[in-house]
Amino acid sequence: MNREIEEIQEDLLAKAAKAADELYNIRDTYFPADPNDKISKLQAESDLVLQTLNSIPPENRKLPIQRAMYEYLKGKVLDVFSDYRKDAEDHLSKAGPNKRILCQLSMLERKMAQGTEKQAEIVEESIKHAREAIALDVRDGNSWYNLGNACLTSFFVTGAWDHSKLLQSLKAYQNAERDETMKSSPDLYFNCATVNKYLENYERALTGFEAAALKDPGLNATEEVEKIVHLLDKLESLLKGQTKAKRLASLASSLSTVNVNPSYIQVSVDRLAEGLNKGVAVVGKVLYFIKHQNVAPLYYLLCDANQICYVLSVYGIRDDVVKEGDQIILLSPYFHNVDFSWNGKVYQFKSVRVDFLEQMLVNGKALSHSHAVRASIYAQHKP
């Protein structure tokens, strides 16, 4: 008789596990016109799974594996919603090491981090748990996706300067894409496109956002495509306008007398190599501050002493630090030659980026930490 009861309880756990998977399938694939319909459906389904779990008596979940599965499933069900719930974290913490549990904990920690004073530290814990999940199964796409989201979140909460976090995030997303089960995830395409946008891989970003929009029209992926195209059109228009501007020659001439730290080699923008230019300095004059629809980065149109115009993207500084007419010295800048076509239109321009305050001098003066600002952006959709 005891064996029969035990089998019934195991059947209930299996039933709850299947229902929890179905719950997450609804979260990942059900996109009604009204988002409230999705929330209502998730609430109703999660209540049913919790009823099943609560029907299992404590004496029938005493074995370590039963107890771990019970705690894991309860935490997973409670964690299906976007808001942070401490009871979900409590149940997952009791479950013990498991790749799915570690991923759930990692996601919870990113929810916890928002609005706290220790955002960076909590997100580092999220990255740690994400890596631990991967160590248990290096081929699991969801674990790689989770790590990608953790690194992307870290990039923003630490001030949006450290682009190595973006590269780590991109690599994790690319590993996730190798798992066939992840190829139907619109959020993977969306967040991977977000990374490419901030890495200024505009063509890949546009392609990724379009793919995300096709898989889930409810995402704001189409809006992201429109924002990027609007920005690119604006940059192209300003760059074309400068080729005819009479003031360009006089502005550029003032740069010929600028003295650069002798430990750096001063070059014109057309001498920069693709990627990081360590030990190199570029001098420019700010022609325009380019307003656009995203919070970060800040974009400026500059020209060098040879009257070559280029786009400067800057993260992590206040928007009142650099003004039109300022003289800028960029130390060890990152260079990218943008050259691609989208919907029949060709975009070509030189783009320069600096990642740290110390790499930028404004009118000969170094920037202080009082000029810094923390970007309030996070990995979107299932952090």
On whether both 221 and 286 belong to a single domain, the answer is: no
User: Tell me, what's the pLDDT at 148?
Assistant: 98
> What average pLDDT does the structure give for the chain?
87
In our burial notation (b when 16+ CB lie closer than 10 A, e otherwise), range 38-59 reads beeebeebbeebbebbeebeee
Q: Is 276 exposed, middle or buried (0-12, 13-18, 19+ CB in 10 A)?
A: middle
* Confidence class for position 161, pLDDT limits 50, 70, 90: low
Q: What's the CATH code of the domain at 349?
A: 2.40.50.550
Enclosing domain of residue 128: 2-227
Burial of 82 (0-12, 13-18, 19+ CB in 10 A): exposed
Query: Does residue 210 fall inside a structural domain?
Result: yes
235 falls within a domain: no
Report if residue 44 sits inside a domain. Answer: yes
Provide the whole-model pTM: 0.75
Residue with tokens 């979140």: 153
Give the whole-angstrom CA distance, residue 249 versus residue 256. 11
Kindly tell me if the per-residue pLDDT of 280 is higher than 90.
yes
**Structural domain includes residue 378:** no
- Other beta carbons within 10 Å of 69: 22
Does residue 18 belong to any structural domain of this protein?
yes
Write down which residue in 227, 257, 286 finishes a domain.
Answer: 227
DSSP string, 193-210: HHHHHHTT-HHHHHHHHH
Using one digit for the tens of pLDDT, what is the confidence trace for 119-158? 888 899 899 989 999 999 999 999 999 999 999 999 888 7
Give the number of domains in the chain: 2
CATH number at residue 78: 1.25.40.10
